[in-house]
Amino acid sequence: MTQRTPPTIRFYTSNEGKVREVRELLEGRGYRVAWSRRELTEPQADDLEEVARAKLAAVPRGKDLALVEDSGIFVAALGGFPGVYSAYVLRTLGLPGILRLVDGKPRAAEFRAVVGLRDGTRTRFFHGAVKGTLAPRPRGSGGFGYDPIFIPDGKTQTTAEMTSAEKNALSHRGKALRGLARYLAPPGRVSRSA
Ligand code: ITT
């Protein structure tokens, strides 16, 4: 009996936390995720899809499916800031500095992700979002980035206090990746060759 080689999806990112979550979700669905550790140049843009499109345009063309992702946290009381600037703001202010920005303000926030896929000559984008609130102080050691201060609606834990499976089940990235998985293998189509 011949064994089907799992199709390879090559994920271009500098963020190891994203890789862990993408692997957990897509490898469970029969794909192999190869990590190309890259800091892709990001344009000044106010839209995650525009950034994801630019990242995808910067990755080399090869035989594998190419994957990029752009994400951020949008705080309503700050007019959506830091949004597309989330990585820069986290690097410069850290979580305590970000919490100071919302001191005394409503704490509603939303994580959003756009996953970009190049499949041959086609490019496709998949969106996911999760609403929540900012915790009063950082809690938990799982996940990465803003996870210690984000509490999804309907939960009491931060996403850093969840297992990665629990986080993937509700997260912005998990939702976007499930859209991508449905595109790659729509219900009824058993397998897809690379
Ligand atoms: P890339 O190389 O893929 O660009 P990056 O970490 O620079 O990796 P982004 O430019 O997409 O990623 O910036 C997203 C920022 O939002 C970054 O600071 C992340 O830590 C944070 N972020 C995104 N998703 C998150 C999640 O699920 N949990 C916690 N923080 C998250």
List per-residue pLDDT tens for the chain, 194 residues long. Answer: 566 677 899 999 999 999 999 999 999 899 999 999 988 888 888 899 999 999 999 999 888 899 999 999 999 999 999 999 999 999 999 999 999 999 999 999 999 999 999 998 899 999 999 999 999 999 999 999 999 999 999 999 999 999 999 999 999 999 999 999 999 986 655 554 43
Cis upstream peptide for 152 (omega within 30°):
no
Give a yes or no: residue 190 inside a domain: no
Residue 27: the pLDDT is: 93
Give a yes or no: residue 3 inside a domain: no
* Closest residue CA from atom 7 of ligand 1: 87
Longest dimension (CA), the chain: 64
Residue 194: the pLDDT is: 39
CA distance 93 to 90: 5
> What tokens does 161 get?
């206090």
For 74, the domain range is: 8-184
Give a yes or no: residue 114 inside a domain: yes
CA distance 74 to 192: 36
The answer to whether 138 touches 149, Cβ cutoff 8 Å, is yes
Q: Which atom of ligand 1 is nearest to 72's Cα? A: 16
Helix (H/G/I), strand (E/B), else coil: 124 = strand
CA of 19 to the centre of ligand 1 (A): 11
For the domain that residue 36 is a member of, what is the CATH number?
Answer: 3.90.950.10
Query: What's the structural domain count of the chain?
Result: 1
Helix (H/G/I), strand (E/B), else coil: 156 = coil
Pocket test for ligand 1, best of 15, 41, 172 (most atoms within 8 A of CB): 15
Contacts for 148 with CB less than 8 Å, ≥ 6 apart: 95, 135, 138, 139, 140, 141, 158, 160
CA of 3 to the centre of ligand 1 (A): 36
CA of 51 to the centre of ligand 1 (A): 12
CA distance 55 to 11: 11
Residue 147 near ligand 1, beta carbon < 6 Å: yes
Q: What are phi and psi of 21, to 5 degrees?
A: -70, -40
Q: Is 46 a catalytic residue?
A: no
Residue 83 near ligand 1, beta carbon < 6 Å: no
The pTM of the full predicted model, rounded to 2 decimals, is 0.94
Give a yes or no: residue 109 inside a domain: yes
**What distance lies between CA 51 and its chain's CA centroid?**
13
Give a yes or no: residue 76 inside a domain: yes
CA distance 92 to 87: 9
Q: Which atom of ligand 1 is nearest to 14's Cα? A: 2
CA of 156 to the centre of ligand 1 (A): 22
Give a yes or no: residue 58 inside a domain: yes
Contacts for 44 with CB less than 8 Å, ≥ 6 apart: none
AA identity, residue 127: H
Give a yes or no: residue 2 inside a domain: no
Residue 1: the pLDDT is: 57
Catalytic residue among 64, 70, 147, 153: 70
Give a yes or no: residue 20 inside a domain: yes
Helix (H/G/I), strand (E/B), else coil: 127 = strand
